[in-house]
Amino acid sequence: MSQAGTATAANEDLEQRHREAESRITSFSYAKPDGVTAGKGFIALSRTDIVKGVVQVVKKHGGENNLHYHTRMDTFWMVLKGRVRFYTVGDKVLGEFGPHEGIVTPRYCRYWFENIGDDDLELLQVAAYADGAKDGGRTNVEALRFVPGTENEFNLTKPVKADA
């Protein structure tokens, strides 16, 4: 194939990639659902093959998680409402955060967090996945304090679409 033919094929391939990616654009909105009484809630915002956005709603004394790490994802955390304290090994404090503050936990970083405010904690979680990962590779270091899939969990797994 000539250089011109190769360039044309590359441009067509790139155009195909653009169109495919643009067909997967999603928008979302978030409002805390009414009536969340479980210890922890997960509200899915959006997901692609390499990134997901979720808001976790964590009740005081009921939604705390355990020391764990992820082998296939880095996570960006930002407080939308309330206050959170993140810990690492030996309950060493990584930081306390209020609205519009947060932390990034890289893969293999051992951590846990708890709601330290007086109200529900609303925590934005944006996870970036390793290439080809189907999940985050969560590995528990300590026993679970909060057990997913029980009556203590509220889970809205369908992404919330923004009004068009």
- Domain spans of the chain? 40-156
Structural domain 40-156, CATH architecture: Sandwich (2.60)
Q: Model confidence at 36, in pLDDT bands (50, 70, 90)?
A: confident
What is the predicted pLDDT for the residue at 59?
87
User: How large a percentage of the chain has pLDDT more than 90?
Assistant: 66
- Is this model's pTM higher than 0.85 or not? no
pLDDT average, residue stretch 26-50: 89
Residue 22 vs residues 19, 25, 65, 144, 164: alpha-carbon distances, Å: 5, 5, 36, 40, 17
Residue 85 vs residues 10, 16, 116, 121: alpha-carbon distances, Å: 49, 45, 6, 11
**pLDDT over threshold 60, residue 160:** no
